[in-house]
Amino acid sequence: MCINTTTPRYLFHSTMQEQERKNMTTWKCCNLFVLIVLLLSAPFVISDSTQQRFYQCIQQYIDQSVPFSSAFFTPENSTTFNSILQSSAQNLRCLQASVSKPDLIFTPLTESHVQAAVVCAKQIGIHLRVRSGGHDYEGLSYISEIESPFVILDLSRLRAIDVNVQENTAWVQAGATIGELYYRISQKSKTHGFPAGLCPSLGVGGHITGGAYGPMMRKYGLGVDNAIDARIVDATGRVLDRTSMGEDLFWAIRGGGGASFGIILSWKLRLVPVPAIVSVFTVPKTLEQNGTKILHKWEQIADKINEDLFIRVIIQPVDGPQKGKRTIQTAYNALFLGRAERLLDVMNETFPELGLKRNDCLEMSWIQSVLYIGGYPTNTPPEVLLQGKSLFKSFFKAKSDFVRKPIGETGLEGLWKRLLEEDSPLIIWNPFGGMMAKISEFETPFPHREGVIYKIQYLTAWNNANDELEKKHYDWIRKLYKYMAAYASMMPREAYVNYRDLDLGKNKDNNPSFIEACSWGYKYFKDNFSKLVLVKTKVDPDNFFRHEQSIPTLLNMDQTKTRMIN
C-alpha cells in the first residue's frame, strides 16, 4: 500500500546457542513454592483463570534461565497492553471498542517460548492468534470473530537477522520487518538485495507466507520464489526445518497464507544481485494531460518491457485545473536496475508516450531506492528502516484483482467516474511479466503467474470510527468491485491473499467446511487450493492453526465431498 506521500533489537549471531536450535525441552517439574514466587513477581495481576493457567503452563515447559515474565501483557495493565496491541496494527477499524480483544498477549523471547505457547494453548484449550508484526488488512492476527477467549502470540521480539554475502543468503526471524532486512543487507553489501515488498514496515513472517511481491519481481520473482529454508513450530510444538518438515509442507508455507500450517520462526532467503547504482522516477499524468490514453498504452506494455524495469501506477483523485473540481491523476512510480541513460533508451523504445526526461530520473543506491519507493522524503537516512513503522494508519477497506486483458479506454472512463464519487480512494496497479511469467503457477501456492498483465489493489479510507461512515465506504468499494468484474480475471476471479478480504467468504466457526472455504480459497490459490487442503489435513488434522480464512481440513467431509477433491 506504500505510496509517495531506538527500539531494542534482538541481534542474531552465528554463535547462537545450539540449545535454541533444538526442539522443545521435556517437561520440567516445578514445586509450589517456586510457582508462587514467579507468579508474585509477574508484571501483571493474574485474575483470570485462563491467563493464570496459560502462564503456569508456559513456565513448566521452558528453560527458566531466560526470564519470561515480562513477555506477558493483559488488559488489567491497559496502557502497556494497548500499546502492544496497537503497535503494528495498520487498519484502525480492527482496534475499535466493538472488536474482540485478546485475554492475553505473549511476546516470546526465544523459539522455545513459541513451542511452549503452542503446547499450552492446546493443553488448556485456548485459541491462539499469531502476529509477526506486519500490515494484516483484516486484522486476523490480532482479532477473532469466530471464537473467544483467545491469546495473541506476538513475535515482535524475534527479529534477528544474519546476512551471509559470501553464500548469498540471509536468515531472518519472523518478527523483523522487510525494511530491517533490506537495511541489514545493505550494511554488508552494496550489490546484494532481496526481492520482496515495497512497504518497509511489512512483517517478514506473514509477508513471505503470502507471496511477497515487490519492485524486483519482474527480474527475480517473489520473496517466496527466493525462500530456500524455514524454521517453523508445528501443531505438536516441534521445531522443523525444510528437511524435517518435508517438501509438501515447505511448499504450502511459501505462499499458502499465514497461520494455517504452523508458526514461522525464521526464513532462509536467497539474496540477489543488484547494481551499485539504480534509477527511479515518478511521473504524474492527469486526465487533462492525456492520462487515459497513456494508461491504456501502459496496459499494453507493462508486462512486456525489459525485466529490469518495474513501473507501477498509483491512481487517485486530485484537484483539477478548474477550482473546486477534481480530476484523476495517474502517477507512474518506477525502479530500474541500471543507470538512467539505459533507462531512457528502454523507455523511448517501449513507452515513449510517457515522455520521460533525464531530469525525471534519479540515480541512487538500491537501499536509497527502497526508501524512495516506500514513500519516504528525499535524504531520509536508511536507519529509519530499523524503526519498522508504517507510514499509513487509517480506517480502510481493500480489495484486489488480477487483470489478464487490457481494460481499454471505455472501461477506464467508467472507472474514473466511480473514483470521483468517493472521498479518498486509492488504486495501485503493479505490473507482472518477466520472471513472473516464467515460473509455473504450481511451483508455489501463489498461482498468479503467466498471463497476468498486472494486479490491482483497491482501497478506500476514512478517519473516524463511525458506523454510517464505514457503511458508506464499504458500499462504494463493493460497487466498484462489481463494476470491475467485467475486466478482471475470470473462473476464478483471482485475489491476492496478503490483501485479505473477508467479503470473499470466511470460516464461520472453528471447524470450517471445505465447500464454504472454496468461495475464497480458489480466488487466492486457484487449483493449488486443493493441495493446500490436503497438506493441512496431513500436518494439522485437528485444525489448531485457524482463523476466518485459514485453510480447512478434509476430516469433516463426507465421501461425496471427498470425491469432489479427488
Condensed to tens digits (0 to 9), the pLDDT of residues 402-419 reads 999 999 999 999 999 999
Phi and psi at 30, nearest 5°, equal -140, 125
Return the SS3 of 437: helix
Question: Of 38, 150, 135, nearest to 92 (Cα)?
Answer: 135
The secondary structure of 30-49 as a DSSP string is --HHHHHHHHHHSSS---SH
Residue 449 identity (one-letter amino acid) = R
What gap in Å lies between CA 82 and CA 105, rounded to an integer?
A: 10
Q: Give the count of beta carbons closer than 10 Å to the beta carbon of residue 560.
A: 7
Q: Is the pLDDT of residue 5 over 80?
A: no
Task: Find, among 128, 114, 72, the residue nearest to 265 by Cα.
Answer: 114
Tell me the H-state helices in 395-553: 409-419, 467-483, 514-525, 528-539
| Cα–Cα distance, 540 to 553 (Å, whole number) | 8
Query: Does residue 7 surpass a pLDDT of 50?
Result: no
Contacts of 122 (CB under 8 A, 6+ apart): 235, 544
CA torsion, ordered 141, 142, 148, 150, to nearest 10 deg:
90
Percentage of residues in the chain having pLDDT higher than 90: 75
**3-class DSSP state of 542:** coil
Report the pLDDT value the prediction gives residue 556, as an integer from 0 to 100.
59
- Which grid coordinates belong to 209? 507466507
The string of pLDDT tens digits covering residues 132-165 is 976 789 989 998 988 889 999 999 999 999 999 9
Phi-psi domain of 115 (left: phi exceeds 0; alpha: psi -120 through 50; beta: other): alpha
Q: What is the mean pLDDT of residues 61-71?
A: 79
For residue 86, the one-letter residue type is Q
Contacts of 275 (CB under 8 A, 6+ apart): 191, 337, 338, 339, 366
Contact 237, 114 (CB under 8 A): no
pLDDT tens digits, residue range 296-325? 999 999 999 999 999 999 999 999 998 889
User: Cβ distance 204 to 267 under 8 Å?
Assistant: yes
pLDDT at 36 over 50: no
473: phi then psi, degrees, rounded to nearest 5: -75, -35
CA–CA separation, 531 vs 446, rounded Å?
12
pLDDT tier at 62 (50, 70, 90 boundaries)?
A: confident
| 33 pLDDT higher than 70 | no
How far apart, in whole angstroms, are the C-alpha atoms of residue 457 and residue 495? 9
pLDDT tens per residue across span 247-275: 999 999 999 999 999 999 999 999 999 99
CB proximity list for 247: less than 8 A, separation 6 or greater: none
Mean pLDDT of 163-188: 97
Q: Among the listed ranges 38-42, 144-148, 462-466, which one has the minimum average pLDDT value?
A: 38-42
With a cut of 90, say whether residue 39 has pLDDT above it. Answer: no
Other Cβ atoms within 10 Å of 71 Cβ, number: 19
Residues 456/443, Cβ–Cβ less than 8 Å: no
d(C-alpha 527, C-alpha 63), whole Å: 44
Write the pLDDT tens digit of every residue in 217-249.
Answer: 999 999 999 999 999 999 999 999 999 999 999
Across the chain, mean pLDDT equals: 89
Contacts of residue 169, defined as CB under 8 A and 6 or more positions apart, other chains included, come to: 163, 228, 268, 269, 270, 271
The answer to whether 73 touches 131, Cβ cutoff 8 Å, is no
Pick the closest to residue 380 from 367, 371, 370 (CA basis): 371
> First CA to last CA across the chain, in angstroms?
38
Interatomic CA distance for residues 219 and 433, integer angstroms? 9
Rg (CA), the chain: 24
Closest to 403 (Cα-Cα) out of 463, 448, 464: 448
Across 114-135, average pLDDT: 92
pLDDT at 17 (0 to 100): 37
How many Å apart are CA 445 and CA 528, to the nearest integer?
6
Q: Please tell me which residue, 438 or 147, carries the higher pLDDT value.
A: 438
Q: Enter the DSSP assignment of 200.
A: T
The CA distance from 223 to 218, in Å, is 12
How are strands ordered across the β-sheet holding 326-336? 362-364, 278-286, 326-336, 309-319, 425-431, 454-462, 395-403
Q: Which residues pair with 315 in a beta bridge?
A: 330, 427
Q: Which of 57-66, 77-86, 207-216, 279-288 has the lowest mean pLDDT?
A: 57-66
DSSP letter at 312 equals: E
- Is the CB of residue 310 less than 8 Å from the CB of residue 215? yes
Confidence of residue 121 (pLDDT cuts 50, 70, 90): very high
Task: Say if residue 162 is exposed, middle or buried (CB neighbours under 10 Å; 0-12, 13-18, 19+).
Answer: middle
Percent of all residues in the chain with a pLDDT value above 70, rounded to a whole number: 89
The stretch 174-202 carries a mean pLDDT of 96
Q: Are strands 454-462 and 425-431 parallel, antiparallel or unpaired?
A: antiparallel
**Distance between CA atoms of 107 and 68, rounded to whole angstroms?**
9
Q: What is the pTM of this model?
A: 0.89
Burial of 87: CB neighbours in 10 Å, binned 0-12, 13-18, 19+: middle
Cell matching residue 63: 528453560
- Residue 539 has a CB neighbour count (10 Å cut-off) of 23
Strand partners, 267: 172, 230
8 Å CB contact between 459 and 135: no
Q: What residues pair up with 311 in beta bridges, in sequence order? A: 334
Q: Taken in order 250, 252, 257, 262, is the CA torsion positive or negative?
A: negative
